[in-house]
Amino acid sequence: MIQMKNFKLLLMGHLLFMTIGVLAQQTGKNRLYKTESDSLMIAYSKTTNLVFPFAIKSVDKGSPDILVQKAKGLENILQVKAAQKGFFQTNLTVVTADGKLYSFVLDYNEDFPQLNLTLNKTKPDGQEIYFSDEIINDQDIEEYSKLALYDKNKLRGQRKSNYDIDFRLNGIFIRDEVMYYRIKVTNNSKINYEIDQLRFFIRDTKKIKRTASQEIEITPVYILNDIDKIQAETENIFVFALPKFTIPEKKYLAIQLMEKNGGRHLEEHVKNTKLVQVTILPKL
């Protein structure tokens, strides 16, 4: 009887140990979270835009046959397209600022790719587009350009006149990382002036013999009152929004106005001393 009793106790202890082990395994399994992968069709000739609810912090692509980039100036939009037609199935992993992991299985489909996909919009009244700190958005640039247009501060002594065309830089303004150049063009002639180009260059003051002259073009990010023709005996005031820059010593800013199908070309030179007269625009 004593042996039978000991056997029952031993059996119960073994069963209890096994039960605890099973529960521990199940508890351990419950701590493992599975991230589901979304299927995504992309193309070679079309771009797919993925809009995330938070800023993108990390991107990993499974194959060099895929091209990815964050939309310029934006933090939560990822642009994806195929670098190779008919690529083998691959994957894409994205981590956002809220710590969430997104996984995609990518397949090639030139005819019916998914072009725009908004993921897990958790904030119904929140902002959908997140701008990078490096650049302000286009709407703000337009508003600051208008402030520069109507600002009463004027820059003196920056004028070029020829062929009855008066070409004048009469204001330099700045707000954050953008500079605003206000330029007035007056056509005093009786012939319309068609603008071929109005461009900005940083150039060397003097060209050293046997040395190539360095020229850097600065491209506007926005132009207010952008027209291609100035009617006879009329004027137009442009505001060019340019990425912030300074003019180094022994260099100057060349502002070049070229006439389309004509020869009435003008060029104005701005030295770095003029930047001292820059006006800071008030914050919107």
At 23 the pLDDT is: 45
pLDDT tens per residue across span 218-248: 888 889 999 999 999 999 999 999 988 888 8
pLDDT band, residue 121 (cuts 50/70/90): low
Residue 34 has pLDDT above 60, yes or no: no
Short-list 33, 36, 32, 44, CA closest to 105: 36
Number of neighbours of residue 156 by Cβ within 10 angstroms: 8
Contact 96, 119 (CB under 8 A): no
Three-state SS at 161: strand
pLDDT tens per residue across span 75-84: 888 999 999 8
Quote helix, strand, coil % in the chain, to nearest 5: 15, 40, 40
Three-state SS at 275: helix
Percentage of the chain with pLDDT > 70? 78
At 31 the pLDDT is: 42
pLDDT band, residue 148 (cuts 50/70/90): very high
